[in-house]
Every structure is written in structure tokens, then in C-alpha cells.
A and B are shown apart, each in its own frame.
Chain A
Amino acid sequence: MKRRLNSKNPASLIIGLVVLAILAIAILGAPLLAPYDPVAQNAAERLEKPSEKHWLGTDRFGRDILSRTLHGGQTTLLSSLLALCAALAIGLLVGMAAGMFHGSALDHILMRIIDVLLAFPFMVFAMVIAGLFGTGLVHLLLAVVSVWWVSFARLTRSVVLHAKNETSYAAAKVLGASNLAIMRKELLPKAISPVLILATFELGTLILSIAALSFLGLGAQPPAPEWGSMLADGRAHFFQAPHILIGPAAFIVATVLAFNLIGEGLRDRLDPYEKLEL
């Protein structure tokens, strides 16, 4: 029944992939595609509205916003991706260990750590890190990694617990395979696809959270051409020149939307995830 209801989903997967591909080409090809130098200032063209010359207008130093957004996307997207991969790796490891040794002291300790981290809302944790260690993109990403692995660990653990009920697991055990071999050959392949689907959704949320913190002034600091610092900069001039903020914000929406659509499309293709919804 669910399958039929979601019959429109191949569309969302395709739209998501197309949007992502266009964005990726635009951002990775920034050095070739960007019409202007992202850091070149031009006092004569300050705070200009979008026009034929500057598609997304200019900022308070007369820099071309489209060029800055395209170049800035590299830093933003690569750093988010890096942080996500780190969180994913930690989450997979912890989740597999906890699931494999379910009920052991190790499992209890890991689950307790997860409970504690779940009690820290991400924004609060990131604010504490920024407050104590200073603002900046690196600290923001560290905060992301320290908290974000938890959702992957929980999902991996529940996948592993389900997989342990299957006959192939029992067979591997009976044949005397080592725990490490079972984890690598039996459990990891089962965990990887639901975790990757979760990761597509989480990447969207992650980019939104980083954007929000940058907007509050806790992320990358101006004058770096990075989406977050452009947002912080645009905030100060929003009512005077809303287009400074709208440029990078539109790219953020497009990116997050692409990942959300891909996530939706993928999720419905994979049955196990439906049963293991977080």
C-alpha cells in the first residue's frame, strides 16, 4: 500500500539529482563560470540591486554576489561533507560495536554517552563551543562532528540488532567466523544503505544548521567568500539591501532541497529503512 502511495517518488529522486548536478557543476566550475573575481572590490558599484551586469547584485564593497556565492559554495559544501563523513564513520563504528556486543558493558556505556549527547540540543552545543573556544568555521565543524554521529550510531545499532536475528548471521557464527569478520562482511553491508540514506537527509539539516549559526555570527568570519559569512554580512544590511542575503540563501535552499528530495526518493526504494525509521 505504501509503495503505491509513494509512486511519485522516482520524480523526487530525479529532480533532486538534477538540481544537485547543476549545483555541483556551478560550484565546482566556479573559477571558470563566475563572472567576476569573488574578492575584487568596486566602490562605484556598492549594494547594487540584481541587474544584467550583476545577476545577484553586489554587496557593500561592490563585490559580485553571484561570483562570491559560487566560490563560497566550495568551502561550505566541502566542509559540511567532510564533517558529515567524520560523523558517519564514528557513528558506524560505535553503532556496530554497540550492536555486536548488545547487552554488554560496552553497549551500556556507549548508549549512555549517546543519551547524554542527545540531551544537548545541537544549537546549544555549538554555541557553547563557539563561546568557549571562539567563533569560526573549524570550531563549528568540530561541534557538528562531536554531536552529529549519534543519529548514525543509533540507526546502525538498530540495523545490527535486526541483522543478528537473521540466519546468515547465525550461520557465520556457527562456522566460527571472527567478530571482526562478521562485522565487516555481514553487518556493515546491511547497515551501509540505511545509514547513507539518513546521511542525505542529515546533510540537508546540517547545511541548514551551519547556515543558521553562521547567520548568528558564530561561523566563518567575513571577508571569506563562504555562504555562512555572506549570510552574517547580509543580515546587517537586510532591510537596506535584501538581495545580499537572498543570493546565498537561495543557493542554500536549492542545495538542501536537492538532498531532501534525493533522501525521500532513496528511502522509498529501500524497504529496510521503512521498518527502522528513527
Chain B
Amino acid sequence: MHTVLLRKLLEALLTLFFATLIIFALIRLAPGDPVRLMLGHPGEIAAQGTSAYDEKVAELRAELGLDRNIAVQYVTWLGRLAQGDLGTSIFTGKQVGSEIAARLPATVTLSLSALLVQIALGLIFGMVAALRSGKLADQLIRVACVALASTPAFVVGLVALALFAVKYGVYEISSDFSAARLWLPALTLGVLGAPQLVRIMRANLLTEFGKIYVSSAQSRGLDRKRVVRHAARNALIPLVTMVALSFAGLIGGAVVIESIFSWPGIGKYALDSILVKDYPVIQGYALVAVLMVVLIHFLVDVVYSALDPRIHHKGEAGREEKA
């Protein structure tokens, strides 16, 4: 078991390493001189061309080590990252790391709450659809899921805002991170993500219902509720991955909802930074988002090997099956 986890850990670290390479390469490929970019976009800087500006450029170039060769630059950059130094924002001059850390709780709170809504809806409607499969309830749930999965998140978000904030006035429009403002974005995000879980829960349950242990339990006259409970438990295990991946998706995908509801999370911070071309913030955001995704994937592997003893032995083979 430990060797499997150790290998997973190494894989996660390797993924992170390559991710930093990609981000570093993208920054270097971006048009323009990174130093001038860091000082502000050309054309937006009135001071450009003055001797003070050139001096600042040379100073920053040396400070960042950009006058050295590219491998050295990468290693230096990586070293800073390892110490948690994500650089400073061009726009505010504040530390990107601490700015992101300050906004992370808002994003994580929103994502976790949305996840709970998703799981609740997924379990309830998935179970109903499976139990009533082929009947009216199943068809209705199916239609609702397809319709919801075809609707852009911003439409749902804006309609929710128009209804609850503008029409009924029960939701406060501000940019605070408070418990009173959490429910609407969390519900919106949760409802939007639910169709996927409903479908998988339904499919898993139907697969379990078709297995021999269910028919044998039924033929022995076991209480229907008990049989369903057993099947449901087995159907839940594969759901762990889905839920975790969904959480990882929420961290990155909550941007639209954060933006609509002015929820002060990292997505909104990154978005505001893109519009003012604040490069260090964008880079920091990408790194933090990737770090979280990799961490979540690794945790799934850990949970899995704790849940399912077969994985200890199968390792790569189990993985093939999943793929």
C-alpha cells in the first residue's frame, strides 16, 4: 500500500513540476519583455522612455535575474515559489501570495457549500430516477438534467440575482464575504453541477440493481428498503472520485458565479487582474489552482486505497480500468 501511495505522491510532484514548466514557458512566450510587462503594459505607462523608466527596467531585470540564462532563471523562480513567494502585484504592489491566501477562504467556502448542494441533489434525484427508472419521474428528472446542463452558468446566476436581489429583495448586493451572502451563489453553483452527479448516481444504482446479490436478496424475500440501502452503499464508492473531481472543477469554475455575485474569491481576483494585465497575479492564480487540483487528485487516490483494498495490489491495472 505504501509503495502505491509513494508512487502517487511522486506522480503528483512530477505533475506539479511540469505545470510550473508550462506556466514559466507561457510567461516567457507572452509577447513583450517580461520586465516591461511587469512594470505595466507598454503604452499605458506615461513614464516610458524616460531615463527613470530605463533605470527601473535594468534594476528589475537584475533583481529578477532575467539577465542570466533561462535554466538559471527557471530554477531561481522555482526556488522562490517553493518558499511561497509568488511575487508582488503590479497594480497594488502587495504580495500576491498573501492576497490569494486572503481570498482563498471565500472560494473554498463557496465551493464546499456548492458541493454539498450538488451531493444532496445528486443523491436524492439520482436515487429517485433509478428507483422509478423508465417511469414519469425518471423522464422528468432526465429532461431537467439535460436542460440544466445546456444552460450557461451566467444565465442561471443572473436570473437568480434578478429574482432574489432585485425582485424580492431578499439578497444583499455587495462584495462582502459573509455567511448571509453565501446561500444564493452556493445554491446556484450547486444546482448547476447537480445533473452530472444525478446521472452517475442513477447509472451506478441501476448497475448495482442488476447484480446477482440484489436479485438473490430479493428472491429470498428481503425487505426492499434494505436491499436498496445495500445497493446504494456500493453505488456510492465510485462517486467519491466524481465528487472530488467536481470539487476541483469548482475551484477553477466558480469564476463566473464569483463574478456575478461579486463573491470576493480568488477567481474574481484573477479576473480583475486580467483586465488590468496584472501578470504576477495571473501566474500566482494559475499556480494555486493547479496546486489545489493536484492535491485533490492525490487525496482521492489516498481515500480510494483506504476504501478499496483491491487497489493496493492492482495499482496500474486498476488505473487502466478507470481510464
Instruction: Say whether A and B bind each other.
Output: yes
Residues of A within 8 A of B (CB): 1-2, 4-5, 7-8, 12, 112-113, 115-116, 119-125, 127-135, 154, 157-158, 161, 204, 208, 211-212, 215-218, 231, 235, 238-239, 242, 245, 249, 252-253, 256-257, 260-261, 264
Query: What are the residues of chain B within 8 A of A121 when measuring CB–CB?
Result: 248-249, 251-253, 289, 293
Q: List 7 A-B contacts (CB under 8 A).
A: A121-B253, A121-B293, A122-B252, A128-B283, A157-B323, A212-B153, A216-B255
Among B26, B139, B154, B210, which residue has its beta carbon within 8 angstroms of that of A132? B26
**Segment 125-166 of B: residues with Cβ below 8 Å from A:** 133-134, 139, 146-147, 149-155, 158, 162, 166
- Say yes or no: B152 contacts A253, CB within 8 Å: yes
| Complexed CA–CA distance, A143 and B262 (Å) | 26
Q: A216 touching B259 by the CB < 8 A rule?
A: yes
Closest B residue, CB atoms, query A210: B152
Given known A-B contacts A8-B139, A115-B11, A215-B256, A127 and B23 have beta carbons under 8 A apart: no
A contact residues around B46 at 8 Å (CB) = none
Q: Which of A4, A7, A116 contacts B18 (CB 8 A)?
A: A116
Contacts of A135 in B (CB 8 A): 274
A274 to B233 alpha-carbon distance, docked (Å): 23
CA of A235 to CA of B152 in the docked complex: distance in angstroms? 13
Quick one: which of B20-52 are within 8 Å of A by CB? 22-23, 26-27, 29-31
Cβ-closest chain B residue relative to A117: B22
Q: How large is the interface on B (under 10, 10 to 19, 20 to 34, 35 or more residues)?
A: 35 or more
B14 within 8 A of A: yes
Contact A112 B274 (CB under 8 A): no
Interchain CB contact (< 8 A) of A257 among B146, B252, B270, B279:
B146
A249 to B, closest residue via Cβ: B155
- B165 CB to closest chain A CB (Å) equals 9
Are A5 and B206 closer than 8 Å at their CB atoms?
yes
Kindly list chain B residues whose C-beta atoms are within 8 Å of the C-beta of A252: 152
Q: List chain A residues, Cβ under 8 A from B166.
A: 239
Interface assignment of B286: CB less than 8 Å from any CB of chain A: yes
The answer to whether A130 and B256 touch across the interface, beta carbons within 8 angstroms, is no
On whether the beta carbons of B285 and A217 are closer than 8 Å, the reply is no
Contact B30 A133 (CB under 8 A): yes
A123 with B255: CB separation less than 8 A: yes
Verify A216–B271 contact, CB threshold 8 A: yes
Measured between alpha carbons, how far is A252 from B149 in the docked complex, in Å? Answer: 12
In the complex the two chains form, is B151's CB within 8 Å of A253's CB? yes
B273 interface hit (Cβ, 8 Å): yes
How far is B297's CA from A229's CA once the two chains are assembled, in angstroms?
A: 35
In the complex with contacts A132-B27, A132-B279, A123-B150 CB distance below 8 A: no
CA distance A120 to B155 in the complex (A): 25
CB atoms of B275 and A217 under 8 A apart: yes
Residues of B within 8 A of A257 (CB): 146-147, 150
Give A227 Cβ to nearest chain B Cβ, in Å.
10
Contact mask for chain B residues 102-138; partner A; CB cutoff 8 A; 1 contact, 0 none? 0000000000000000000000000000000110000
| B206 touching A128, Cβ below 8 Å | no
Q: Name the one of B15, B29, B279 contacting A119, with C-beta atoms under 8 angstroms.
A: B15
CA distance A116 to B134 in the complex (A): 40
